[in-house]
């Protein structure tokens, strides 16, 4: 410490005075509350006493933020920034007071942890970001038929996958696992039964039979068929809508869908209003409506000549459809007038049926067919039938066939 000033050298006379400027550079950190005390005795020397400590420099030890010029006391030293990240530190060897990567390991005291247990991460000593693992976390659980799998750590948090149904349509065996096979139907999820092989199969909601085949509608809206020399079940595929009911003829099946459309296999299928007709199977009588009598289709074939179909029915070797605006179309074999046409031949393309009463065109709401006669329910509530009448199935006393739709007189 040095002291300079005017008339401040030597001995001052009694009552004398001098101006004194004190400059000091402490060798240790000083506080804001530094006190300079001056004392003197007559004829003696002036004594200066400096007490307390001053403001710290960056990297100097500190106890509170007020000890540091910028108010940043981090990790016990004055720091150049808040340095508050999980893997940041200001107390670094060779870089005291400068924020940077924390030492490898867990975050220092006073810094947030890397993630949450059990997925906490660590510091790698080279980066200010946490390093996390993707280890498994949590526990599996099973309730009813829903299995909650073990989670996985991600960015310091345990992420659990969404619960999934037990595989194989089985139910939970206990609070953590699913059954692996069934013995009772109660071992299976709703809508399933336990087969003899210990597997859960979908319940059948409806069964229909043809001349040489059988089909079932399952609870998920899908259809299985077997027969015609093949005992193995075949899934009917290729249709983008669910089935709500089935109807079978001699060599075909039709399915009403949840959208109000109709599918058929063995002969024809309808995907719904404005979606056209799908046909496949035997076509010896033109029942596919494809304009030919030679092709055999094993897969559904979309034919677009008529649309807006809301109902479908078929006889032995022909099909009929009704449209949303009440027109009825038929195609296939017409040897009994069952297509509503006087010409006894095969019609490989859909042909309209004339529903006329007293010169007024009637409109149909539905159509039904079996063997070689056809009937249609009209919007008036009346019924017209045409085709084979050898058993008076057209509702008339004359037992002759009629290609012209006849109004059923009474019931």
pLDDT of residue 166: 96
The DSSP secondary structure of 291-321, one letter per residue, reads: S-SS--EEEEEEE-SS--EEEEEE-SSEEEE
Would you write out the chain's pLDDT as a tens digit for each of its 411 residues? 344 444 555 555 656 666 555 544 444 444 444 555 556 566 555 555 555 455 678 999 999 998 898 999 999 999 999 999 999 999 998 899 999 999 999 999 999 999 999 999 999 999 999 999 889 998 899 999 999 999 999 999 999 899 999 999 999 999 999 999 999 999 999 888 888 789 998 888 888 777 777 888 888 888 888 887 777 788 887 666 787 777 776 776 777 666 656 566 665 444 444 444 444 444 444 444 445 555 444 444 444 466 777 777 878 888 888 888 899 999 888 999 999 999 999 888 888 999 887 667 789 999 888 889 999 999 888 899 999 999 999 988 888 999 999 988 766
Q: Please state, as a whole number, how many other Cβ atoms lie within 10 Å of the Cβ of residue 267.
A: 29
pLDDT of residue 11: 59
pLDDT of residue 156: 92
pLDDT of residue 234: 83
pLDDT of residue 5: 46
3-state secondary structure of 30: coil
Contacts of 196 (CB under 8 A, 6+ apart): none
pLDDT of residue 184: 92
Look up residue 261 and give its two tokens.
């459309």
pLDDT of residue 287: 46
Task: Write down all domains in the chain, each with its CATH number in brackets.
Answer: 1-54 (no CATH), 136-194 (no CATH), 203-407 (2.130.10.30)
Residue 319's alpha-carbon distances to 226, 316, 337, 353, in angstroms, are 22, 9, 13, 12
Residue with token string 């976390």: 137
Look up residue 410 and give its two tokens.
């009474």
Distance from C-alpha of 108 to C-alpha of 89, rounded to nearest angstrom:
8
pLDDT of residue 27: 44
């Amino acid at each position: 410490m040095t002291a300079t000033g005017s008339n401040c050298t030597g001995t001052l006379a009694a009552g004398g005075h001098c101006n004194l400027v004190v400059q000091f550079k402490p060798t240790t950190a000083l506080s804001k509350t530094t006190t300079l005390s001056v004392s003197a005795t007559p004829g003696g020397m002036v004594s200066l006493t400096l007490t307390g400590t001053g403001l710290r420099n960056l990297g100097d030890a500190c106890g509170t933020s007020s000890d540091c010029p910028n108010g940043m006391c981090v990790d016990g030293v004055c720091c150049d920034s808040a340095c508050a990240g999980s893997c940041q530190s200001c107390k670094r060897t060779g870089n005291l007071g400068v924020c940077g990567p924390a030492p490898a390991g867990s975050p220092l005291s006073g810094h947030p942890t890397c993630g949450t247990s059990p997925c906490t991460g660590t510091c790698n000593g080279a980066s200010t970001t946490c390093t996390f693992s993707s280890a498994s976390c949590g526990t599996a659980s099973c309730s009813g038929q829903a299995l909650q799998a073990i989670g996985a750590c991600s960015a310091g948090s345990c992420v659990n996958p969404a619960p999934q149904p037990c595989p194989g349509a089985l139910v939970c065996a206990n609070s953590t696992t699913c059954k692996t096979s069934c013995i009772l139907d109660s071992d299976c999820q709703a809508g399933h039964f336990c087969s003899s092989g210990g597997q859960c199969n979908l319940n059948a909601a409806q069964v229909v039979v043809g001349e040489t085949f059988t089909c079932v509608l399952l609870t998920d809206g899908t259809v299985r068929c077997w027969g015609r020399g093949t005992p193995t079940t075949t899934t009917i595929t290729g249709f983008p809508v669910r089935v709500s009911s089935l109807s079978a003829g001699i060599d075909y099946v039709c399915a009403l869908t949840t959208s109000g459309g109709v599918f058929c296999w063995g002969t024809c299928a309808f995907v719904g209003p404005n979606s056209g007709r799908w046909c496949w199977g035997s076509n010896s009588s033109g029942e596919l409506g494809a304009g030919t009598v030679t092709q055999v289709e094993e897969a559904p074939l979309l034919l677009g000549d008529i649309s807006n179909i809301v109902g479908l029915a078929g006889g032995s070797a022909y099909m009929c459809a009704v449209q949303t605006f009440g027109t009825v179309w038929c195609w296939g074999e017409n040897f009994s007038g069952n297509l509503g046409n006087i010409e006894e031949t095969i019609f490989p393309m859909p042909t309209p049926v004339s529903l006329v009463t007293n010169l007024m065109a009637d409109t149909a709401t539905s159509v039904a067919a079996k063997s070689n006669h056809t009937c249609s329910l009209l919007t008036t509530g009346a019924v017209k039938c045409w085709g084979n009448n050898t058993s008076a199935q057209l509702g008339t006393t004359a037992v002759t066939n009629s290609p012209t739709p006849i109004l059923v007189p009474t019931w």
